[in-house]
Amino acid sequence: MSELKLKDALDALKTSGVRITPQRHAILKYLISTESHPTADVIYKSLESDFPNMSVATVYNNLRVFRNSGLIKELTYGDASSRFDFVTHDHYHIICDECGTIVDFHHPGLEEVEHLASHVTGFKVNSHRLEVYGTCPSCASRAVTGN
């Protein structure tokens, strides 16, 4: 499944006139294969052994290209570091207050909130974002065991 997603993403970039470099290919492949919503620094550190001449700026620049092409979403959560998500269809996030882990979840009924907000206020709603905060199972178990 992820190979098909990678091929489709690379084809979309080529169609929009973006040259496919080995770094772009590797960054996209990393984003598709992870569910962790990484920062640019995490992506850089994960790929630096394969691309020793690649800089953090290269990662940021490529992420901007992917975001502008609609391939990824940039998520900001007030901790001054953007996280990146290859899943661009509507979904929601639950975020650990302790370690910052972000996990996707889906709930189809939440689109009703958009319709209600539009109806009540007269706004034309463009998008919405829902974040739920708590303690992930790993952090909860560490708190219980004292580790």
Asked if residue 96 belongs to a known ligand binding site, the reply is: yes
Name residue, tokens 């178990």: 141
CB atoms inside a 10 Å sphere around CB 127: 6
8 A C-beta contact, residue 135 and residue 97: yes
Question: What is each CA distance from 78 to 75, 100, 116, 137, 140, in whole angstroms?
Answer: 10, 11, 27, 23, 23
Name residue, tokens 């939440």: 110
Q: What number of residues does the chain have?
A: 147
- Alpha-carbon span 90 to 111, nearest angstrom: 9
Asked if residue 3 belongs to a known ligand binding site, the reply is: no
Asked if residue 93 belongs to a known ligand binding site, the reply is: no
Q: Which residues pair with 105 in a beta bridge?
A: 92
Asked if residue 139 belongs to a known ligand binding site, the reply is: yes
Binding-site members are 96, 99, 111, 128, 136, 139
Binding-site members for Zn(2+) are 96, 99, 136, 139
Binding-site members for Fe cation are 111, 128
